[in-house]
Amino acid sequence: MTNTNILGDQDQAMAEIEVMPSAGDILGIPEYELRVSSDRVCVELDCPDPHSDIDSYIARIVTDFKLLEIPEYPDAEILKNILTTSCQPGEHLRDHVIMMGQKAIHPIDGRLEWMEDYFAEGWAVDEESGNIDFWSKLERLSVKENELLVRLHPPIDGKAGLNVFGNEIPVTKPNKVKLRAGKNVRTVQEDDFTVYHATCNGRVRLADGTVAVDDVYVIKGNVSLETGNIIHTGAVMIQGDVGTGATIEADGDIMVKGMLEPCHIKCGGSLTVIGGIVGGEDFNIELAGDLMAKYISEANIEVQGNVVVGNEIAHSRISSLGQVKVSKGRIAGGTTLAKLGIRVGEAGSSGASDTELIAGVDYSLEKKIRWQDDKILKLEEAQDRILKAVKMSERNKDLTEKEIATLNGLKKKVTNIALAIADAQMLIQKLKVDAINSCVAEIFILKELWSGTKIRLGNERSIVRTSILKPRIVQLRRKKIKILPLGDGNMPDE
C-alpha cells in the first residue's frame, strides 16, 4: 500500500510539473523555432529578441535551413537585414515569415445566380391549425415578360503555386455550369456573364439543364366532352373538375381547383389538386414533379417527386421517387411505395388488412435495367452478324485492297460493339449501386399502426401482427425490420 501511494504521489507531482508554464511563457518570450508552415508555402520563425545576439541567431537559422533541406534560402547578409528590420531591440518574433513561396490561387467554379428563389420546395402552413395551405406553395414560379431570371457566371481558372522546397502546388480545373435557353427565354451577353430573360408572362421551369417559361393554359370550367382532351406544351390551370375519361398532357405544371375523376394525366411538372383524386383500374397518372391533393382513392399514380396528401390515401397504388407524406391522415389499403421514405399519421385500419407500405425502393430501376438489357441484346445480335461476315471474308485468301479495308472496318466495329456492351453492363451495375445508396428505408407512423399492415424496407419484408396505437418508426436494424418507439430524439424533420 505504501509503494502504491508513493507512486501515486510521484505521478501527481509529474503531472503538476508537466502543466507548469515555462518562465518564457510567463514573460511572453517565445522559444526559438524555425519551421515550415503546414501548407509548405512559407518558413516561420519564433525567436527571442534577435538583437540580443544577432550573429548567433543568424548562424542557427542557416544551420536549421540546411536541416530542413530547403534548396534555396536567404544568405547571412539578407537574414541580418530581415532580423534587424523585423523588430526593435527588446521585441520578440513570433510566427514571423522570413521566407515565402507562392500561394496557389484556387479556381472558382462556374455557377448560376437565380434572381428569385423560384424553385423553393414545400407549401405554406397555417400557424394556428397546422394545416397545409394548398393555394400557397413556397415556390415563386410566376414571371413577367423581360424579367431577368438567372445570371450564369463562368468558371475562373486558378494559378499553381510554389512551395519553399521548389515544388509546384497544383490546382484543379474549375467546373463549368451549362444552362440552355428553352421556350420563351432569350440570352444576352453582359461582360463575362450570360443572362437569361423571360420573353412572356408565364411560369418558369427548369428541366434537364434547360430553363423555359411556360405560358399558362387556363380552362375556366370543367374538363369535359365540351373541352375535349387537353394537350399543352406549357402549364395548365383548370378552374373546375376533370371529368371521367379525360386525358390531360402538359409539359409544365397542372393545377386543378376542383377534383379529378378517373382520367389519364401525363405531366412534365407538378400536379396540384385542391379537391381529391378518384381513380380507376384503367386510368393512370404519371408526373415528373410533385403531387399534392386533399385525398386519393383507388388511383394508380407514378410520381418522380414527392407526394403530399391532406386526408387519406385509400386503396391506391402510389409509386414515388421522393417521399410520401400523409402526416395528419392515413394510408388504408393498396400499396404505397416511396424511395425516400413514408410519413403517415395512421397506417392501415381495423377494416383494411391489404395495406402495404414500401420504403427504400426505386420503382424506376427495373425499367432502366430492362432498357439497358434490350440495348445489350441488340448489340449482341449485331455483333454476331458482323462476326459471321468477318469469318466468311477471312476464308478468301485473295482479297483486294478494298476488301481488306472493308474487313478491317468490320473488325473495328466488332471491337466498338464489345466496348459498348461492356459500358452498358457497367451502367447496369452503377444503376443498382446508385439506387441502393440513394434510397431511404424508413417509415414514420405518427399515430397508429394497425395489425395486418405489410411492411417492406428495401428487400426485407414483414407484417404487423399486433396493432400499435402509439407513434412508431420502422427501420432496418442488422437487415431486419424493427418497429421502434418514436419520441423526441427521432421525430422526423418538418
Q: What value does the mean pLDDT take over residues 233-250? A: 91
Residue 24, pLDDT > 60, answer no
pLDDT computed for residue 134 by the predictor:
59
Residue 3, pLDDT > 50, answer no
pLDDT computed for residue 201 by the predictor:
79
Q: How far is CA 55 from CA 59, 65, 211, 294, in A?
A: 6, 15, 69, 86
pLDDT computed for residue 135 by the predictor:
45
pTM over cut 0.75: no
Q: What value does the mean pLDDT take over residues 337-350? A: 93
pLDDT computed for residue 10 by the predictor:
44
More confident residue, 105 or 233: 105
What is the Cα–Cα distance from 91 to 83, expressed in whole angstroms?
11
Residue 491, pLDDT > 50, answer yes
What is the Cα–Cα distance from 287 to 304, expressed in whole angstroms?
6
User: How many CB atoms are located within 10 Å of the residue 63 CB?
Assistant: 11
Q: What value does the mean pLDDT take over residues 419-447? A: 91
- % of the chain with per-residue pLDDT over 90: 67
pLDDT computed for residue 252 by the predictor:
86
User: How many CB atoms are located within 10 Å of the residue 78 CB?
Assistant: 13
- Residue where the block lists cell 403531387: 291
12-16, 123-127, 303-307: range with lowest mean pLDDT? 12-16
More confident residue, 10 or 281: 281
| Residue 476 in grid coordinates | 432496418
Q: Cα–chain-centroid distance for residue 322?
A: 12
Residue 240, pLDDT > 50, answer yes
- Residue where the block lists cell 460493339: 417
- Binned at pLDDT 50, 70 and 90, residue 484 comes out as very high
pLDDT tens track for 28-41: 788 999 999 999 99
pLDDT computed for residue 63 by the predictor:
93
More confident residue, 399 or 279: 279
pLDDT computed for residue 231 by the predictor:
84
- Binned at pLDDT 50, 70 and 90, residue 124 comes out as confident
Residue 487, pLDDT > 80, answer no
What is the Cα–Cα distance from 119 to 110, expressed in whole angstroms?
20
Buried b (16+ CB within 10 A) or exposed e, 374-397: ebbeebeeebeebeeeeeeeeeee
- Binned at pLDDT 50, 70 and 90, residue 20 comes out as very low
pLDDT tens track for 368-394: 899 999 999 999 999 999 999 888 888
Residue extents of the structural domains in the chain: 23-100, 111-213, 234-364+440-485, 365-438
pLDDT computed for residue 353 by the predictor:
66
pLDDT tens track for 144-203: 889 999 999 999 999 999 999 999 999 999 999 999 999 999 999 988 899 999 998 788
pLDDT computed for residue 131 by the predictor:
77
